[in-house]
Amino acid sequence: MSLDPTITQPAPVLHPEVIGDRFEGAKDAEGRPLVHAEGTSKPIRARTPHEPQPRGARDRGNRPVDQIEAAERFIAATEHEKAHDERLWDMRLRRDKAAHALPEWEDMRALASQIKEHALANLDTYLGQFEAAAKANGVVVHWAADAAEHNRIVHQLLKDRGAKSLIKSKSMLTDECGFRAYMAGVGIEVIETDLGERIQQLDHEEPAHVIGPAIHKTREDVAEVFARTLGSDPTDTDIPHLASVQREATRPLILKADAGMTGCNFAVAETGTVVVCTNEGNADLSANTPPLHIASIGIEKIIPRFEHLAVFLRLLARNAIGTPMTQYTSHFRAPRAGAELHYVIVDNGRSERLGLKEFWTSLKCIRCGACMNTCPVYRRSGGLSYGATYSGPIGIILDPTLNRRKYSSLPFSSTLNGSCTNVCPVKINIHEQIFAWRKVMSEEHRLPFVKSEMMKVLGYVLARPALYRAALGAADEALRLLPHFVLANSLNTWTNKGRDMPEAPTQTFHGWWREHRGQTRKSP
């Protein structure tokens, strides 16, 4: 929303060079562009057709992720970065339009936050209720303490039934558990049915965004992946054609799959129902075609009743993609006649996170991705630069609970601007938690040596007025006297990344005060 009530025209875009000439997506009967699912409202495409796709953070084992280095490479891939930035900003604007069309929007965010906090504060009760209802409906319920146990339980279910192939819809939880890699290791074929997730699977990359896993890829990148793995024509980059390549390649796999797996957006305690939202209908295919449906459920997905589900669903798609609903909203309460339904309820560190006073509210997250869309750092770095299943603002506050050391650097990939907190549909104070994680990392001595030493020195000098004045005086002199090349070298990050040193004024404010006001009033 603009502060200027006279503004009704759209503003110039940041990267006009990636705005295409014609709208390529589906249109309605009158020929007007449609913008549902993850669609954009204007044609955005990279102009340089063969700019190689920038890859994600380098694998450094358990050492802290170097998000900065990956972000630099993303920015250097100028076409990818511009298109990525424009597209996600477009999603942010569409979110604003859909959200602000509801006069009750802010009330609903408050309600959603309260419902989730209540559910989390009474989580064991609701989990018990959910399990009892599910079992009464003929669902088999399993509990997995961690990722390894989740994978083992699912593997056992498949092995017991001689299942060799599994189709699945998008589930961040299964990504978190490293499910695909585990299954590959035990010889079970896993086929992702979500287009974006399938592209990433075929390209051996993690999802880059919770809603659009391949949101960082150009059509040329996708054509290259499909040519390599599905044998299609690498030069045919027409998007309906590429989508159809995947549809035709995946459909036979769906029809002969031995088992299907989905995630869970919401778990309704009162009826034991698992709710899954997709745009493609692939969760419904995965669940309804094979004789076995497994749903992986994070413990934090529990909500008490259907009346609460309505609040979340009215927020979710509007906040994520700017439409009132996703194309498909599926409710699984009991197995189909003649088929099996299993729930795997997963902890994997969530119960521990519940006990963290400053961070437990991150469990409210409903995986809408709006924080990623609005984050100016994420849009310019790409999701893969975070080197984790969860990226962007929510990733920064979740990932340290999954691996403290590896993700100790992520809380610093933020300007603390606070936009994420404002778009969060369940009012997680994301930027404040980012700030709080920095304190944790400092206290646990996980900061890079140079940084922590610099802070010690700064803290020392800034506590001593006379010393501070002397240091300023010396720096001023230095700034004025040293030739440019001495300052603009690789040790001085200020200049070597495209900035000039600020002009050093001839006098500080302090010096001006002494000269013009002549007072040396000390504090009373």
Residues 483-502 interacting with other proteins (rule: CB under 8 A) = 493-494, 496-499, 502
Provide, rounded to whole angstroms, the least separation between the CB of residue 440 and other proteins.
7
Whether 418 and 106 have beta carbons less than 8 Å apart is answered as no
326 forms part of the interface with other proteins (CB under 8 A): yes
Instruction: Lay out the site mask for other proteins across 30-49 (x = CB under 8 A, - = otherwise).
Output: ----xxxxxxx--xxx----
Q: What x/- string results for residues 247 through 276 when contact with other proteins is judged by CB under 8 A? A: x--xx--xxx--------------x-x---
Nearer to other proteins, 428 or 441 (CB): 441
Burial zone of 523 (CB within 10 Å; 0-12 exposed, 13-18 middle, 19+ buried): exposed
Question: 339-358: which residues touch other proteins (CB under 8 A)?
Answer: 345, 347, 351-352, 354-355, 357
- Count of other CB atoms within 10 angstroms of residue 164: 14
Size of the residue set binding other proteins (CB under 8 A): 200
Neighbouring CB atoms inside 10 A of 80's CB total 24
The DSSP letter of residue 33 is B
When the beta carbons of 264 and 423 are compared against other proteins, the nearer one is: 423
* Position 412 contacts other proteins (CB under 8 A): yes
Helices and strands, number each (H, E), in the chain: 23, 10
Task: Name the minimum Å distance from CB 201 to other proteins.
Answer: 13
66 sits near other proteins (criterion: CB under 8 A): no
Query: Considering the rule CB under 8 A, would residue 478 count as an interface residue with other proteins?
Result: no
DSSP, collapsed to helix, strand or coil, labels residue 268 as strand
Residue 393 in the binding site for other proteins (CB under 8 A): no
Out of 136, 181, 455, 474, point to the residue binding other proteins (CB under 8 A).
455
Crossing angle for the helix pair 78-100 and 306-321, to the nearest 10 degrees: 140
- The closest alpha carbon to 332, from 253, 278, 266, 280, belongs to 266
- Please state, in angstroms and rounded to a whole number, the distance separating the CA atoms of residues 302 and 129: 10
Within 8 A by CB and 6+ apart from 236, the residues are 223, 242
Which of 406, 418, 409, 384 lies closest to 207 in space, CA to CA?
384
Site string for other proteins, 182-221 (x = CB under 8 A): -----------xxxx--x------------xxxx-xxx--
Which of positions 88-147 make contact with other proteins (CB under 8 A)?
Answer: 89-90, 96, 99-100, 102-108, 110-111, 114-115, 117-118, 120-124, 127-128, 137, 143-145
Evaluate whether 288 touches 336 at the Cβ level (below 8 Å).
yes
Residue 417 as a binder of other proteins (CB under 8 A): the answer is yes
Residue 2 binds other proteins, judged by CB under 8 A: yes
Residue 24's CB is within 10 A of a number of other CB atoms, namely: 15
